[in-house]
Amino acid sequence: MIRFILSDLRRLWAGSLVVVLLVALATALGVSVVLQERALRLGSARAADKFDLVIGAGGSETQLVLSSVFLQASPLPLMPGEMLGKLAADRRVDWAAPIGFGDSFSGYPIVGTTTMLAQNLSGGFIEGKIFAREGEAVIGSAVRLSLGGEIKPMHSLPEEGGETHTELVYHIAGRLRPTGTAWDQAILVPIQAVWHIHGLAAEEHAEEGAESEHEHEVASGTGTAEHRHEHEEAGEHHDGHEHHGKLDPDAALDESWTADAPGLPAILVKPKTIADAYKLRQEYRSGNTVAVFPGEVLTNLYATLGDAKQILVAVASGAQALVAASLVLVTVIHIGQRRRQIGALRAFGAPRGAIFGIVWLEFFFLVAVGIGLGFALGYAAALLLSGMFSETSGITMPVVFAGEDAGLAAVLLAFATVLAALPAVLAYRQSPAQALRA
């Protein structure tokens, strides 16, 4: 029987190939949707695990997490700079690090922070060392720049009409180890340098409190180029703060120093214990600040993502149903074309059960091969899409099969079993005399 089936498939290879490809493409569509959605969940969850608590000014919690954890450029409201010193002095906090946005270089976001975050983000350096001066920078593992290279910060992005800052050039001092997060594509510089380059030094902030609205525009990456240029000219020189002077790594964490510091869009906090994390979250969710666990925010995003997944799965299921209907039509026509062959087999004494088995096994084999090929194609498509997303976002997107995928394969094979029975029943019910007269 097996030899007969293989011989029949070789003789009808063109039709067999069409059946396999139809099944493979329909299966690949559904598999790729499932794998890509899972990769996005795992990748974003692992990226958020790096940060326990994020504190920012009152506003959108989702945007706070997207901007601070995933470095998605967007202006955020500012909270008082003194909040950083207060958190750093809190006994419940292991470490706290500010982050400031607004500048970029060659498409890589420049993030102002402290040595505390740079040292704790990835657990070490591939090469080089931490920045020690305001003119030095540390780059993520995926930043395609060389150690010692120059970075000329640009406010905003070129396509948004950004301007290059000419008063300060950073030199790359070190490269961090991979983290699998968006921070692998970030350029980290001292937060003091970000303040100075925008004319927002702590001393000036105290004297220019009336310009808080303009400060918000600069620190958040908004405002017109003309206003930014005027502000930069006014703050080009600062007494006691040279742009390339030695950096005090703890200055930005000193509560007295930050009393008149510029506003901050976000602070990343590492609590000492889980209990401390919940206490801090509760404390800073009142008033003009908001504290969030990135994982909780992602859960809400996953709910939306789940709805999108259901829609895509429904589309894939519809495509598979259309393929199944077309296969039924193809097999009915195929059985009609093979009536003489089936009649001859019956005339030579082949029992009806054998005819049923031959037709069923032949069609089931084609559908099963198509399902297997579909899983391979779906996996390859998910890998390609995840690679493209990781290239642009820096987030590692793991494409992996799970136990539920075996259930999907079992359902598809069960459907193939039923589908293959249709042409087999048609062949079973066909009488030898009618087949030979046709």
Per-residue confidence of the chain (438 residues) as pLDDT tens digits? 566 556 666 766 777 788 888 888 888 988 888 898 888 888 888 888 888 999 998 878 888 998 888 888 777 888 888 888 889 889 999 999 998 887 888 889 999 898 888 888 887 899 999 998 888 999 999 899 999 899 988 875 555 555 666 667 899 999 999 988 889 999 999 988 888 876 665 444 434 433 444 444 444 444 444 444 444 444 444 333 444 455 555 555 544 445 566 788 999 999 999 999 999 999 998 778 899 999 888 887 777 666 666 777 777 777 777 777 777 776 666 665 565 565 555 555 556 666 677 777 878 888 888 889 999 999 999 999 988 888 877 788 889 898 888 888 888 888 888 877 776 666 655 555 554 455
Cα separation of 117 and 270, whole Å? Answer: 10
| Among candidate residues 214, 281, 265, the one with its CA nearest the CA of residue 66 | 265
| Residue whose pair of structure tokens reads 């869009």 in the numeric block | 265
CA dihedral over 72, 73, 74, 75, signed as positive or negative = positive
Question: CA-to-CA distance for 160 and 24, rounded, in angstroms?
Answer: 44
Q: What residue segments make up the domains of the chain, in order of their start?
A: 2-45+301-437, 53-292
Query: Do residues 169 and 93 lie in contact, with contact meaning Cβ atoms separated by under 8 Å?
Result: no
- Residue ranges of E strands in 106-220: 108-113, 125-128, 136-139, 150-151, 154-155, 170-176, 187-190
Count CB neighbours of 327 within 10 A.
25
pTM higher than 0.75: no
Sign of CA dihedral 355, 357, 362, 364: positive
